[in-house]
Structure 1
């Protein structure tokens, strides 16, 4: 049974809520836009790098009925698909827009990544980031130019990544691809960790795990402790860069990249 004291406490609390509502404005939540491939399944992972005062506005690129190949990556990078996706995100006024697809942003090399970036800006993005552009900036921020590479791709797609890195004068000491053509998001932490350990070499300054559909958040810090070097991943570099472009800080513990100062997102 409620006592008079309980009733007074409840009433006082209600008065405080009314007074607060009358005297303060609802805090505005900043947002960033994310463009993801049609088969992207890891929205929750992106949120884990997102600070509490930022919302993610995520949209998908149109579906294409092809496996994860060079052809798929090329389709995902087409301006006629990317520009409408950018415009679809502009209504809530995001501070920046990230293109969250590794293969779609490296498939046509350095010039292709720059065209992709420019198409996002031309479509109205206040600041733009691509996964592969973010990768290069992350390596610069970590002062790294020799890396080992893990991908879920078939060899033809992995080769495009290696060529893209070579254009940026990044040496790949070794690489491994898992040869997957679909359902990449089902790769387990154990499988990713085993691939990282298999590809690491003493002369590699860091390890990069490609593809935004590969789950990595929880294993980056343990892998860094085990290997004694930075481990970076596609979703991580994307969120690190898009938050920097929005003048925010990505959130994570024990991940080397998150705590370094980033160069300009331009």
Structure 2
């Protein structure tokens, strides 16, 4: 007998314990018969994040991820979804592949991660070569994001980093601040905008931005959950969360 509520798919979702956006975002995009089961990665809420400390803090989250994987495996999920993006961009495409392999070797399940999901999303739209990136990170982390996208064949024309000073501060960034960030990086030389940082609330705003910009605006939580659904053969269209879930 299958799961009564998750009769189509049960996703095990790993996200930082400080993250308050991924869980409601993923539930907002969840089709009937699909359930999300959140496993919190222990994350001290550093209150002085900087260029120098960001990577160390994110790497700690990465090291604690496997414990969260072991925990969520007890509910017998069908696939895994990574609800934290920074660690999936470290060291370019090879680093992303290494992270995926480590989790999949431990769990025996496929995992959708933010970096590769964004690549798949950009390729689904087609014709995208030049992108702009918006993050709640610090510039040193944006360099890692640009390195990854360069490995995948994209050129990062511009980027902006909000320089949030704690992990929970990311979720406090207002829609007005995000609109300002989009305006800072958009231009005629940009084919698409990518927002990274899963604790930044951008699902609905990115969908609206696509309407006024006339180009793809990829919110990483949308890309990641879309990738997870499509990887399981679930093709339901979800309205109100952007063109990715509505068209592809």
TM-score by length of 1: 0.82
Separation (CA, whole Å) in 2 of partners of 1:140 and 1:219? 21
1:41 aligns with 2:24: no
Q: 1:53 aligns with which of 33, 36, 47?
A: 33
Unaligned runs of 5+ in 2: none
- Which residue number corresponds to residue 156 of structure 1? 140
| Runs of 4+ with >6 A deviation | none
Separation (CA, whole Å) in 1 of partners of 2:228 and 2:243? 17
1:80-95 matches, within 5 Å, as 81-95=64-78
1:89-238 matches, within 5 Å, as 89-143=72-126, 144-182=128-166, 183-238=169-224
Matched residue SS, 2:199: coil
Separation (CA, whole Å) in 1 of partners of 2:182 and 2:229? 26
Separation (CA, whole Å) in 2 of partners of 1:252 and 1:115? 34
Matched residue SS, 1:169: coil
Q: 1:74 aligns with which of 36, 59, 71?
A: 59
1:181 CA drift (Å): 2.2
In the alignment, is the contact (CA less than 8 A) between 1:73 and 1:107 conserved in 2?
no
In the alignment, is the contact (CA less than 8 A) between 1:96 and 1:125 conserved in 2?
no
Cα 1:26–1:135 shift into 2, 3 Å: closer
In the alignment, is the contact (CA less than 8 A) between 2:204 and 2:242 conserved in 1?
no
Separation (CA, whole Å) in 2 of partners of 1:181 and 1:65? 10
Alpha carbon RMSD of aligned pairs, Å? 1.9
Aligned residues: 235
